[in-house]
Amino acid sequence: MKIAIFVLADMFVPLMLSTGNCLEQRHGHQVRYLNFLPHDHKLLSKNTEQLFPRDLETLDGSAQEQNILFQQDDVKDMVNFMQLKHGGSLTEWHGRVNAVARYVQRFVDAEAPDLFVVWNGQDHIGQVISVLCRRKNIPVVYLENGYFANTLQADLAGVNASATLAALDYDAVLAQAQSQPTSGNDVQTAPALEIRPLTRTQLAAIALAHRANLGYYTQYPEQRGSSRIKTWQIKRERAAIPNDQVTLPEHFAFVPLQVHDDTQVLLNSRLVHSVEEFFETVHAAIRRTCGPDYPIIVKEHPEDLGRYDYSELRQKYPDVIWLRKFDIELLLDRATMVFVINSSVGLQAVRRKKPTVVLGESFYSKPEIAFVVKDLSQLDANVQRATSGVDEMMSARIDRFLEALDRTLFVKGTWKYPACIQAGPALAERLVALHASSASAETISTRSVANS
């Protein structure tokens, strides 16, 4: 089997290379890697000979082609999230999407991969790969962070609210888990892997080429706002923020904020369309249901510290305990109830048997395990129910659901280096299993069509 892995960013290089090594050495498959950004492409080129395209500037000749695979209206829908995040004109994104699409189509025709692997899949390149693979009946596995420490998601339909489990009801999730083969409990050691980093000279050459290319952001619109200096400054700002000192009340509603520009908020939240709107909506519901003095604790997401300002919102609601740096594990342990759009913190609260009110779309938005709001008119009733806590029946259902996640969606591992090296064997095994299940589903579908 031939497997193509699109490496979205440099931070995923070690995980993808470790997984690729396991696929080749343990399972006997061929692996190809794809990347379309100068810094990341250069890093990969130092660590594998199976990198495509060979020449990033010309995209192996396809950059000079003029055929349009995606019309502007299609591109507008595809890049909506990326354009919101990085800016740039639709003309620039249209050019970028089609340049990459021409190359991916060439690659698929020439290499004929049996499986494609992408991270998240909501970016423009992930969507290009998804569309072109769908046209060729090539299965795609989508990866993402898992919702617990040292877990990843791997699914054939998508991640988060797009995962296979999101469209299934509670009983169907359990049934799907039962149909999966039980994986062995033996922890496999990953093949040795040495990551060769870019040298200072190589980094300087990349930066110089960037500055010399006046059309750089037209060529790579997704690079706007990706300054390494800016990232370093934000890290310094975060480090300077002191830890919050507060005595937690005996009972409180915990409202953890999500990253303001995350796909989970921008794409998977039908009822509330921003973090601010989410907070104001649940604040009002808590006040209506629990009274004017019921303690509410809000915590900003660590990724927004230094890059998004909530000072106006803090000043508007002096009745709220507002935290920036505080132990979230302690907050979850002590909270009476938790309110989320659809974040991983929500599932962590569910695992702790905390009544969790969910306003967004998610694979865990199931009424058997959480207090799911499908319409804002239901919010107050759900808050009222949540104040009564999690009963024994819901607690048992939560346990069964979490067991099902480990057999269907989650894989043990992380993308963070160096721990990610040891994630390779388990992720490779799951990719092979997902390809087999995809092939089985295709066979059943073909037989159904033939018999109809």
pLDDT for residue 449 = 44
Q: How many CB atoms lie within 10 A of CB 241?
A: 13
pLDDT for residue 384 = 98
Bridging pattern class, strands 410-412 and 151-155: antiparallel
Cβ distance 51 to 44 under 8 Å? yes
**225 lies in some domain:** no
**151 lies in some domain:** yes
Q: What is the DSSP string of 112-151?
A: --SEEEEESS-SHHHHHHHHHHHHTT--EEEEEE-SSTTE
pLDDT for residue 235 = 85
Tens digit of each residue's pLDDT (9 = 90 or more) over 401-437: 999 999 999 999 999 999 999 999 999 999 999 999 9
User: Of 36, 270, 220, 222, which is closest to residue 123 (Cα–Cα)?
Assistant: 222
pLDDT for residue 187 = 75
Query: Do 195 and 316 have their domain in common?
Result: no
**387 lies in some domain:** yes
Tens digit of each residue's pLDDT (9 = 90 or more) over 293-336: 999 999 999 999 988 999 999 999 999 999 999 999 999 999 99
Query: Do 49 and 119 have their domain in common?
Result: yes
Cβ distance 344 to 256 under 8 Å? no
Longest CA–CA span in the chain (Å) reads 68
Q: Does the structure show a pLDDT above 80 at 229?
A: no
pLDDT for residue 147 = 97
The count of domains in the chain is 2
Strand, helix or coil at 445? helix
How far is 237 from 233, CA to CA, in rounded Å? Answer: 6
pLDDT confidence bin for 350, thresholds 50/70/90: very high
Cβ distance 29 to 437 under 8 Å? no
Q: How many CB atoms lie within 10 A of CB 57?
A: 12
How far is 226 from 298, CA to CA, in rounded Å? Answer: 29
pLDDT for residue 63 = 83
Tens digit of each residue's pLDDT (9 = 90 or more) over 121-146: 999 999 999 999 999 999 999 999 99
Q: Does the structure show a pLDDT above 60 at 445?
A: no
Query: Do 157 and 263 have their domain in common?
Result: no
pLDDT for residue 447 = 47
Cross-sheet strand order for the sheet of 115-119? 51-52, 30-34, 2-6, 115-119, 140-145, 151-155, 410-412
Cβ distance 278 to 292 under 8 Å? no
pLDDT confidence bin for 180, thresholds 50/70/90: confident
Cβ distance 169 to 366 under 8 Å? yes
The long-range contacts involving 78-86, CB below 8 angstroms and separated by at least 24 positions, are: 78/124, 78/127, 78/128, 79/124, 81/122, 81/123, 81/263, 81/266, 81/267, 82/123, 82/124, 82/221, 82/222, 83/221, 84/261, 84/266, 85/225, 85/261, 86/221, 86/222, 86/223, 86/224, 86/225, 86/226
Q: Does the structure show a pLDDT above 50 at 450?
A: no
Q: Mean pLDDT throughout 87-116? A: 97
Query: Do 157 and 13 have their domain in common?
Result: yes
Owning domain of residue 314: 253-405
Query: Do 24 and 159 have their domain in common?
Result: yes
Query: Do 104 and 191 have their domain in common?
Result: yes
Q: Mean pLDDT throughout 103-128? A: 98
Query: Do 149 and 270 have their domain in common?
Result: no
Mean pLDDT of the chain: 94
Tens digit of each residue's pLDDT (9 = 90 or more) over 256-291: 999 998 888 988 999 999 999 999 999 999 999 999
Distances (CA, A) of 220 to 29, 77, 100: 32, 18, 11
- In the block, tokens 């939240």 appear at 269
* Domain harbouring 309, CATH code: 3.40.50.2000
pLDDT for residue 306 = 87
**229 lies in some domain:** no
**79 lies in some domain:** yes
Q: Does the structure show a pLDDT above 90 at 110?
A: yes
**244 lies in some domain:** no
pLDDT for residue 81 = 85
Query: Do 63 and 146 have their domain in common?
Result: yes
Query: Do 11 and 64 have their domain in common?
Result: yes
Query: Do 270 and 400 have their domain in common?
Result: yes
Tokens of 241: 């923020």
How far is 33 from 13, CA to CA, in rounded Å? Answer: 10
Query: Do 260 and 356 have their domain in common?
Result: yes
Phi, psi of 21, deg, nearest 5: -60, -45
Q: Does the structure show a pLDDT above 60 at 184?
A: no
Cβ distance 192 to 14 under 8 Å? no
Query: Do 444 and 305 have their domain in common?
Result: no
Q: Does the structure show a pLDDT above 70 at 194?
A: yes
Buried-exposed string 71-99: b where 16+ CB fall within 10 A, e elsewhere:
eeeebeebbebbbebbebeeebbbbbbbb
Q: What is the DSSP string of 286-320?
A: HHHHH-TTS-EEEE--GGGTTT---HHHHHH-TTS
Single-letter residue type at 279: F
Q: Does the structure show a pLDDT above 90 at 227?
A: no
Tens digit of each residue's pLDDT (9 = 90 or more) over 22-56: 999 999 999 999 999 999 999 999 999 999 999 99
Asked whether the bond before 181 is cis by omega within 30 degrees of 0, the reply is no
pLDDT for residue 200 = 97
**237 lies in some domain:** no
pLDDT higher for 181 or 267?
Answer: 267
**221 lies in some domain:** no
